[in-house]
């Protein structure tokens, strides 16, 4: 029976074409997350009722592959979960205590990454590191590997633009229109040479950091 199940499952289309954008919530009092689609497989973790999880496989079978926090993946009996389509993020005023993701936005990002892996558009070594903070409440909306240190990429160019605008409004940049082309190339086309020109104009990385620190918006 187990062999028949595995053979049949392998013919299914990728999970995202079946339950794209959906989530699931545990309906049982407690539910075992197993290493494979069978009660013979060892239990990886026990999750409680009303815990929200991310489905990774087709709901057509008795077992559902899922993802829970900290990157743990496993299998649960489908009869003990309820699959649902979430409402827009703005509808949720308070995050349920049982929700394992920081927000539905974070869950959606995780689902998108899983889809990229399935489509082989990303390699297993490609990892996402992202933190999104609501500056009005100082709470995290997305927190995926928040403690991992990585080199800043093109996103750093937005704060550089912010520093440029600070100096412009203070009148510290003479003839700012001379740098419109570099600003446009830096933001629209991620031009590194143009970015270096603006960094040099502003006095270097330390000066830019000092300007940004004054705003009290940016945090490590």
Cα 198 to the center of its chain, rounded Å? 30
Mean pLDDT of all residues in the chain? Answer: 77
Residue pair 47/75 in contact (Cβ under 8 Å)? The answer is: no
Cα 219 to the center of its chain, rounded Å? 19
Secondary structure string (H, E, C) spanning the chain = CHHHHHHHHCCCCCCHHHHCCCEEEECCCEEEEECCCCCCCCEEEEEECCCEEEECCCCCCCEEEEEECCCEEEEEEHHHEEEECCCCHHHCCCCCCCCCCCCHHHHHHHHHHHHHHHCCCCCCCCCCCEEEEECCCCEEEEEECCCCCCCCCHHHHHHHHHHHHHHHHCCCCCCHHHHHHHHHHHHHCCCHHHHHHHHHHHCCHHHHHHHHHHHCCCCC
> What is the model's pTM?
0.39
Q: Considering the domain 14-122 in this protein, what is its CATH number?
A: 2.30.30.40
* Structure tokens given for 76: 């649960």
- pLDDT tens for each residue of 42-58: 999 998 887 878 888 87
Q: Which of 57, 59, 104 is nearest to 83 (CA)?
A: 59
* Structure tokens given for 36: 């494979």
The DSSP bridge partners found for residue 142 are: 132
Q: Place 13 in a pLDDT band, splitting at 50, 70 and 90.
A: very low
CA distance 147 to 168: 34
| Chain length of the chain | 220
**Mean pLDDT score, 195-219:** 89
**Hey, where are the domains in the chain?**
14-122, 154-215
- pLDDT tens for each residue of 136-195: 666 777 888 777 776 666 788 989 999 999 999 999 998 888 898 899 888 877 888 899
Which of 102-106, 135-139, 195-199 has the highest average model confidence (pLDDT)?
A: 195-199
Q: Place 75 in a pLDDT band, splitting at 50, 70 and 90.
A: very high
Residue pair 59/18 in contact (Cβ under 8 Å)? The answer is: yes
CA distance 12 to 6: 10
- Please determine, for residue 19, whether its predicted confidence score (pLDDT) is greater than 70: no
């Amino acid at each position: 029976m187990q062999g028949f199940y595995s053979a049949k499952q392998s013919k299914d289309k990728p999970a995202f074409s079946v339950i794209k954008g959906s989530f699931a919530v545990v309906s049982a009092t407690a539910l075992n997350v197993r290493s494979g689609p069978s009660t013979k497989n060892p239990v990886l973790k026990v999750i409680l009722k009303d815990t929200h999880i991310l489905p990774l496989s087709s709901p057509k079978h008795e077992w559902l592959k899922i993802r829970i926090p900290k990157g743990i993946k496993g299998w649960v009996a489908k009869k003990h979960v309820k699959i649902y389509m979430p409402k827009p993020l703005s509808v949720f005023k308070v995050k349920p205590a049982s929700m394992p993701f920081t927000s539905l936005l974070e869950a959606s990002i995780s689902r998108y990454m899983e889809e990229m892996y399935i489509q082989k558009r990303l390699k297993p070594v490609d990892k996402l590191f992202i933190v999104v903070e609501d500056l009005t409440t100082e709470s995290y909306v997305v927190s995926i590997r928040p403690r991992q240190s990585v080199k800043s990429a093109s996103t750093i160019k937005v704060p550089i633009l912010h520093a440029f605008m600070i100096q412009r409004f203070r009148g510290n940049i003479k003839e700012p229109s001379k740098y419109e082309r570099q600003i446009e190339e830096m933001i629209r086309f991620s031009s590194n040479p143009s970015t270096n020109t603006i960094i040099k104009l502003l006095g270097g990385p330390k000066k830019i950091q000092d300007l940004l620190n004054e705003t009290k918006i940016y945090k490590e």
